[in-house]
Amino acid sequence: MLDYFALFLVFFVFIVIFYGIIVIHDIPYEIAVHREHPHQDAIHVAGWISLFTLGAIWPFLWIWATLYKPGVGWGMINKSEGSHNSEQLKNEIVELQKQVAVLNERQGQFDKGEK
């Protein structure tokens, strides 16, 4: 009877450790899902690959999953620069539209001159 209990205990511990390793390797994916990360699937696949590399890339997956924040994105842009930059971009767009209008006008004059 004690032999069966020991065998059961060995199998139980093996199964718990096996599933525990899988759950631990899925933590970066769960973080990515919670944060609505745009690379959720890649992180999930890399987590499975990490199982076969004995967890060598797992810390990098954790970092990759935690870098992205919903509403902020990657968080690599200073907000004060972003608002100034958008105003500058709007001015550049207006200037480029003026240049395109001038070029179209010149092209129209050039086409009339050739005919």
Yes or no: say if 55 and 26 are a contact pair by the CB < 8 Å rule.
no
CA torsion angle for 72, 77, 80, 83 (degrees, to 10)? -80
Q: What is the mean pLDDT of residues 52-79?
A: 83
Q: What is the mean pLDDT of residues 97-113?
A: 87
pTM recorded for the entire structure: 0.58
Fill in the DSSP letter of residue 57.
S
21: pLDDT strictly greater than 60? yes
pLDDT at 70: 81
Query: In the prediction, which pLDDT does 86 show?
Result: 81
In the chain, what are the domain boundaries?
1-76, 77-115
Higher pLDDT pick, 115 / 105: 105
